[in-house]
């Protein structure tokens, strides 16, 4: 038997509880991992609270990421004792995930733990931090450099936002952090934000073209916020869009794209090819200041996961949430 957060569905919706599960119930996979750490990402919180249609089969163990030690393997790349990390691939959505003592997955989904990170560091970063790195890499690939002007990060006090602020500041960009929580201004400045601005009228319908302000942006909000970000990018600017914390819609016009040549760069971490994942983890090891990572991480007990998921959806949890398992 092992311990897991178990999600079940009944007529009242999603029910989440801490359960003892028989190992024979683990899904198919060629590598069994003893989980050391998992985390709470926005998607985990949607799954646990039932606030979003994340779970595709029931019952489900949530947890879209984990780090741990290989216990058994039939995969040629892994042997017992190897330290591994998993992000995405539908784990915690359609395949049992990391908020449990054990996980069984396809070896092809795993990456080796990147030195010098510990298993805890890897989950302090988690899928949110790895996605922040993918966003930064997308802006770089597009050719956005620090001399071109300010970079906006929306939802800056959340997980993706906090890591994006720290990374971009370390790389020499002037970062403007947008938040709905002005009380987090000093936290964001400590991470490296040169300026902190309220979300304010970015949540309201805006003009098709606004004043040109941003050379680039990382957006976790989607919805009206992303539409206004597009409208206020500088000529040939770009936004890396990865989230929907403010909504799934995109009430924008084509004006910024056809009159200012701006680019909307979509970022997906779930099915991201292996070579780019390895590069993102390598870049995190190079470009994420360990002191900043410590400052943006909170550790919670396994028994507090379900309550904390509610706080994350309510937008009252800041930075990254790491969950020790072993
Ligand atoms: P968090 O909950 O940690 O952060 C989300 C932040 O969004 C909040 O802290 C808040 O920032 C901001 N926010 C909340 N409500 C609104 C709103 N109504 N309008 C605008 N902003 C709002 O989540 P994560 O950082 O883990 O994830 C952020 C987003 O990125 C989620 O939508 C998630 O699904 C997505 N994501 C996508 C991935 C991908 O592969 N594409 C991978 C990982 C995450 P503040 O308090 O500063 O206002």
274-325 per-position pLDDT tens digit: 999 999 999 999 999 999 999 999 999 999 999 999 999 998 899 999 999 9
Closest ligand 1 atom number to CA of residue 157: 47
Q: Give ligand 1 pocket residues (Cβ under 6 A).
A: 41-43, 127-128, 131, 155-161, 179-181, 199, 203, 220-221, 225, 242-246, 267-270, 312, 315
* Maximum Cα interatomic distance, the chain, rounded to a whole number of Å: 61
Predicted local distance difference test score (pLDDT) of residue 219 = 98
Closest ligand 1 atom number to CA of residue 244: 32
Q: Which of 186, 193, 140, 144 is nearest to 166 (CA)?
A: 193
Pocket probe mutation, ligand 1, options 243, 273, 296, max atoms within 8 Å of Cβ: 243
Confidence of residue 192 (pLDDT cuts 50, 70, 90): very high
Q: What is the mean pLDDT of residues 204-214?
A: 97
Per-residue model confidence as pLDDT tens digits over 45-83: 999 999 999 999 999 999 999 999 999 999 999 999 999
- Please report, rounded to a whole number, the percentage of residues in the chain having pLDDT higher than 90: 99
How far apart (Å, rounded) are the C-alpha atoms in residues 140 and 127?
20
The ipTM, to two decimals, is: 0.99
Predicted local distance difference test score (pLDDT) of residue 324 = 98
Measure 154 CA to ligand 1 centroid, in angstroms.
Answer: 8
Closest residue to atom 46 of ligand 1, CA basis: 157
Confidence of residue 151 (pLDDT cuts 50, 70, 90): very high
Confidence of residue 196 (pLDDT cuts 50, 70, 90): very high
**N- to C-terminal Cα distance for the chain?**
14
Closest residue to atom 39 of ligand 1, CA basis: 268
Q: Which of 154, 86, 93 is nearest to 126 (CA)?
A: 86
Measure 221 CA to ligand 1 centroid, in angstroms.
Answer: 6
pTM of the model: 0.97
Measure 70 CA to ligand 1 centroid, in angstroms.
Answer: 31
Confidence of residue 33 (pLDDT cuts 50, 70, 90): very high
Q: Which of 68, 79, 116, 92 is nearest to 4 (CA)?
A: 92
| Domains of the chain from N-terminus onward | 2-113+296-324 (3.90.180.10), 125-266 (3.40.50.720)
Pocket probe mutation, ligand 1, options 51, 160, 273, max atoms within 8 Å of Cβ: 160
Write phi, then psi, for 230 (nearest 5 degrees).
-55, -40
Closest residue to atom 5 of ligand 1, CA basis: 158
Closest residue to atom 29 of ligand 1, CA basis: 243
Pocket probe mutation, ligand 1, options 38, 42, 242, 321, max atoms within 8 Å of Cβ: 42
Closest ligand 1 atom number to CA of residue 160: 25
Q: What is the mean pLDDT of residues 218-243?
A: 98
Instruction: Decide: residue 163, CB within 10 A, 0-12 exposed, 13-18 middle, 19+ buried.
Output: buried
Predicted local distance difference test score (pLDDT) of residue 14 = 96
Whether 171 has a pLDDT exceeding 90, the answer reads yes
Predicted local distance difference test score (pLDDT) of residue 326 = 81
Mean pLDDT over the full length of the chain: 97
Q: What is the mean pLDDT of residues 109-133?
A: 97
Per-residue model confidence as pLDDT tens digits over 238-256: 999 999 999 999 999 999 9
Write phi, then psi, for 17 (nearest 5 degrees).
-150, 160
Q: What is the mean pLDDT of residues 77-99?
A: 98
Helix (H) or strand (E) holding 89: none
Q: Are 229 and 204 in contact (CB under 8 A)?
A: no
Measure 24 CA to ligand 1 centroid, in angstroms.
Answer: 35
């Amino acid at each position: 038997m092992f311990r897991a957060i178990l999600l079940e569905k009944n007529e009242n919706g999603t029910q989440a509880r801490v359960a003892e599960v028989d190992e024979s119930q683990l899904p198919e996979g060629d590598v069994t991992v003893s989980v050391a750490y998992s985390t709470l990402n926005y998607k985990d919180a949607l799954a646990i609270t039932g606030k979003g249609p994340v779970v595709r089969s029931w019952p489900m163990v949530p947890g879209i990421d984990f780090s741990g030690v290989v216990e058994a393997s039939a995969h040629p790349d892994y042997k017992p004792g190897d330290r591994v990390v998993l992000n995405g691939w539908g784990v915690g959505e359609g395949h049992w995930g990391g908020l449990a003592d054990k996980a069984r997955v396809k070896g092809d989904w795993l990456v080796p733990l990147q030195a010098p990170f510990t298993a805890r560091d890897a989950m302090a970063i988690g899928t949110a931090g790895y996605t922040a790195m993918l966003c930064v890499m997308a802006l770089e690939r597009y050719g956005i450099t620090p001399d071109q002007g300010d970079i906006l990060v929306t939802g800056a006090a959340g997980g993706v936002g906090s890591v994006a602020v720290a990374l971009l500041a370390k790389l020499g960009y002037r970062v403007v952090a947008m938040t709905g929580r002005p009380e987090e201004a000093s936290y964001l400045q400590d991470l490296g934000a040169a300026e902190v601005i309220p979300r304010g009228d970015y949540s309201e319908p805006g003009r098709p073209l606004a004043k040109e302000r941003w050379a680039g942006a990382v957006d976790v909000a989607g919805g009206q916020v992303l539409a206004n970000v597009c409208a206020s990018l500088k000529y040939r600017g770009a936004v890396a869009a990865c989230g929907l914390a403010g909504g799934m819609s995109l009430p924008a016009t084509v004006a910024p794209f056809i009159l200012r040549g701006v680019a909307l760069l979509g970022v997906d971490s779930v099915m991201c090819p292996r070579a780019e994942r390895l590069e993102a983890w390598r870049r995190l090891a190079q470009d994420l200041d360990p002191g900043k990572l410590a400052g943006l991480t909170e550790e919670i007990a396994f028994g507090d996961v379900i309550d904390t998921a509610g706080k994350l959806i309510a937008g009252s949890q800041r930075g990254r949430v790491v969950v020790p398992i072993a």
